[in-house]
């Protein structure tokens, strides 16, 4: 996988290069400015861009706006030292496929790269929490009920009520394979990696299908 890195501190590039190499990937370019990335893309390409939001000349949001209408844009993962919920939402609307914090890079970058490279999205647990909290604060919020199908919602409800896999399959009259397919779809929609995170978020945000 070919990865281009942007960061407002050029001393971090060697650390990124070593980390990417440990995953079997290659850092094909780097820039500490958004304009530097735009210029590089005029004659080069890559699989994924790791985009910092805070950069001189042109920040990450401005870069996303600049690239938005291009015919071909590499997949973009935001890697930010800090975050604002509006920036998260705007990044998603402008086409970012993932959003993680710099403090999380060591733990989640490898998974983020793999998922995004295979056409999926990746948001760290911290970012998922912030997105859902903001949605709950808005009048036109998106809820679990909006995101999940009836069958997915039913399975999640049973999970929050401490039903085990066998009990859920019996209650819903489905096979274990079908249950695993349901939970995989839910994890992908909500943007979490484990079933326990589905349950925690559902309880935290008062999900109730019944």
Domain residue limits, the chain: 2-133, 143-204
Backbone angles phi, psi at 76, to 5 degrees: -120, 130
- Going residue by residue through the chain, which has 210 residues, state the pLDDT in tens, using 9 for 90 and above: 999 999 988 788 999 999 999 999 999 999 999 999 999 999 999 999 999 988 877 889 999 999 987 888 999 999 988 777 778 878 888 889 999 999 999 999 999 999 999 988 888 888 877 766 665 555 444 456 666 788 888 898 898 888 889 999 999 999 999 999 989 888 877 767 788 877 777 766 666 655
Name 199's Cβ contacts closer than 8 Å, sequence gap at least 6: 156, 159, 160
At the top level of CATH, the class of 2-133 is: alpha beta
Note the pLDDT of residue 137: 56
The owner of tokens 């209408």 is: 69
Backbone angles phi, psi at 16, to 5 degrees: -60, -45
At the top level of CATH, the class of 143-204 is: mainly alpha
Total-model pTM = 0.66
d(C-alpha 148, C-alpha 16), whole Å: 36
Note the pLDDT of residue 151: 87
Find the helix or strand (DSSP H, E) in which 197 lies: helix 195-204
Note the pLDDT of residue 197: 77
The owner of tokens 């983020």 is: 112
């Amino acid at each position: 996988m070919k990865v281009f890195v942007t960061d407002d501190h050029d001393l971090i590039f060697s650390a990124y290069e070593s980390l990417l190499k440990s995953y079997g990937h290659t850092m094909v370019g780097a820039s500490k400015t958004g304009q530097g990335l735009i210029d590089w893309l005029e004659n080069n390409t890559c699989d994924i861009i790791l985009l910092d939001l805070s950069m001189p000349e042109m920040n990450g949001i401005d870069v996303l706006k600049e690239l938005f209408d291009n015919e071909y844009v590499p997949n973009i993962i935001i890697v930010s030292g800090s975050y604002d919920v509006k920036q998260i939402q705007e990044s998603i609307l402008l086409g970012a496929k993932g959003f993680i914090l710099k403090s999380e890079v060591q733990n989640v970058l490898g998974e983020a790269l793999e998922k995004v490279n295979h056409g999926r999205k990746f948001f760290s647990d911290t970012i998922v929490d912030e997105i859902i909290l903001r949605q709950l604060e808005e009048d036109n919020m998106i809820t679990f009920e909006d995101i999940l199908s009836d069958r997915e919602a039913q399975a999640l409800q049973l999970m929050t009520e401490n039903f085990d896999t066998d009990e859920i399959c019996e209650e819903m009259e489905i096979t274990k394979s079908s249950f695993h397919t349901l939970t995989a779809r839910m994890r992908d929609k909500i943007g979490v990696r484990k079933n326990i995170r589905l349950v925690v978020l559902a309880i935290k945000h008062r999900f109730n299908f019944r």
